[in-house]
Amino acid sequence: MKLDVDVLRYLSKDDFRVLTAVELGMRNHEIVPTELIDRIARLKHGGTYKVLKNLLKHKLLHHDSSKYDGFRLTYLGYDYLAIKTMVNKGVFVGVGRQIGVGKESDIFEVLCEDGTVLAMKLHRLGRVSFRAVKSKRDYLRHRSSYNWLYLSRLAALKEFAFMKALETHSFPVPKAVEHNRHCVVMSLVQGYPLVQVKQLQNPEVVFETILGIVVRLAEHGLIHCDFNEFNIMIDDDEKITMIDFPQMVSVSHRNAQMYFDRDVECIFKFFRKRFNLSFQESIDDNDGSNEEKDEDGRPCFSEIERSAGFLDKELAASGFTRKDEEDIQRFIEGGEEADNSDSEGDDSAEDLNESNLLPDEEHENKGKHESCEAGESVASEKEDATDENEKEENEMEDEAELNKSLNKQRQRAIAATRRGRKSLASRNSYKDKGGRSSHSSKLQKQLSGW
């Protein structure tokens, strides 16, 4: 759907209030009943149905009356909610032209108050070109039901988190500015997609830089999974910037080696076809590099060491399990114990020497003091455990009450719609069944017969 922001300036507070009410109702409704929208919006002077009609005219909502009378948000309505929130926060003040279209997102230019131009990415999962999200992405995890708006929101959140983390570790990525719902605002990359470049001054240097980024990501515990010429930007100075991060996975993923080899193969294939590179010569010239490579010059996934960090743990990347987290904790604790083993041995020897010099009374006092401290620590641990149990019980009770109230609201809305349908049907059928008018008509017929 084409984004037309001209209507945005003419929408009132009531319009956005009703849009937000539909969004809240879609948490547990595929189609939100009209009565529930009216109850959530709580407009001061009423008029919810008039506002719904206006939003439906601008295609911000979709009407469905197959089971009951209700509405759901469209992607255009979701865009308006995200853009309105960004404008209220002061992130940008205007939306410009569209600069990119993908199978799962649209990219627009936005203007800040100080005149700088940023890029706004709107995720649009569910297009005909990309609907196999459940099999190709891990956004759902343990969930069985979903809608496309919620999946787009998860994709935007994941991309913003990856972009922030990679930026802090000095990876060549756009600067993440802000995100809201399915919208991500980032710095505008002054360059071109690598697929549009026909000639390079130093193709060997660019090739080695791109290959080094893939290896560095693996050393930090991540694999891009879509690292090709369409997701690599290059400027006039041949500086590389990588984009598109929602599909990144951990090196602990069961298909990690396949994804890594596929990324490397995409790079080799592109540079071989486009720039006619002979990779063996360029690799022989750089024998001093630290990258582990096979005989044909490709990096070997099994020989890459995760010495740079654990970004997959920090970001909970796909494929990173709790078992992997426990292994990392053991590794870290083992390294700390090895580093502090000598100092601990010296400290223990000094403590033994000092204890031998103490008299018997001091030994007794010391034993009493230690026993008191042990008793206090046990008591404090018990208190902490009881507090945690009470908190968990309170949270469970709150969730149960919330679910009950939501179910009651849904049942009331469905019952109200059914009542309305019965009343409409009763108006049109069974008119004057056994009433006075039928009795008078019978009398008139009898008189006319006489």
Quick one: three-class SS letters along the chain?
A: CCCCHHHHHHCCHHHHHHHHHHHHHCCCCCCEEHHHHHHHHCCCCCCHHHHHHHHHHCCCEEEECCCCCEEEECHHHHHHHHHHHHHHHCCCCEEEEEEEECCCEEEEEEECCCCCEEEEEEECCCCCCCCCHHHHCCCCCCCCCCCHHHHHHHHHHHHHHHHHHHHHCCCCCCCEEEEECCEEEEECCCCEEHHHCCCCCCHHHHHHHHHHHHHHHHHCCEECCCCCHHHEEECCCCCEEECCCCCCEECCCCCHHHHHHHHHHHHHHHHHHHHCCCHHHHHHHCCCCCCCECCCCCECHHHCCCCCCCHHHHHCCECCCHHHHHHHHHHHHHHHHHHHHHHHHHHHHHHHHHHHHCCHHHHHHHHHHHHHHHHHHHHHHHHHHHHHHHHHHHHHHHHHHHHHHHHHHHHHHHHHHHHHHHHHHHHHCCCCCCCHHHHHHHHHHHHHHC
Q: Which amino acid is at 214?
A: V
**How many CA atoms does the CB half-sphere of 290 hold within 13 Å?**
7
Q: Residue 297 phi/psi, 5° resolution?
A: 95, 0
User: What's the rounded Cα separation, in Å, for the pair 389 and 426?
Assistant: 56
User: What's the rounded Cα separation, in Å, for the pair 77 and 4?
Assistant: 11
pLDDT of residue 284: 46
59: left (phi over 0), alpha (psi -120 to 50) or beta: left
pLDDT of residue 366: 45
CB atoms within 10 A of CB 95: 19
User: What's the rounded Cα separation, in Å, for the pair 82 and 79?
Assistant: 5
User: What's the rounded Cα separation, in Å, for the pair 325 and 172?
Assistant: 27
pLDDT of residue 95: 93
Render each residue's pLDDT in the chain as its tens digit; 450 residues: 678 888 888 999 999 999 999 999 998 899 999 999 999 999 988 889 999 999 999 999 999 999 899 999 999 999 999 999 999 999 999 999 999 888 888 999 999 999 999 999 999 887 654 445 555 555 555 555 567 888 889 889 889 988 998 999 899 999 999 999 999 999 999 999 999 999 999 999 999 999 999 999 998 889 898 899 999 999 999 999 999 888 888 888 888 899 999 999 999 999 999 998 876 544 444 444 444 455 567 888 888 877 666 776 777 655 445 555 555 455 445 544 545 555 444 554 444 344 443 344 444 444 444 444 445 554 555 555 555 666 566 667 767 777 777 777 778 777 777 765 544 444 444 444 444 555 555 555 555 555
Q: How far is CA 157 from CA 150, 162, 352, in A?
A: 11, 9, 56
Contact 227, 242 (CB under 8 A): yes
pLDDT of residue 251: 86
Q: Which of 157, 168, 159 is nearest to 82 (CA)?
A: 157
Contacts of 397 (CB under 8 A, 6+ apart): none
pLDDT of residue 188: 94
pLDDT of residue 268: 93
pLDDT of residue 331: 47
pLDDT of residue 283: 46
Q: How far is CA 194 from CA 166, 175, 209, 235, 378, in A?
A: 21, 19, 13, 9, 63
CB atoms within 10 A of CB 241: 18
Buried-exposed string 150-164: b where 16+ CB fall within 10 A, e elsewhere: bbbbbbbbbbbbbbe
Q: The tokens 């459940």 sit on which residue?
A: 134
- Which residue numbers are catalytic? 226
Q: Residue 63 phi/psi, 5° resolution?
A: -95, 135
pLDDT of residue 355: 42
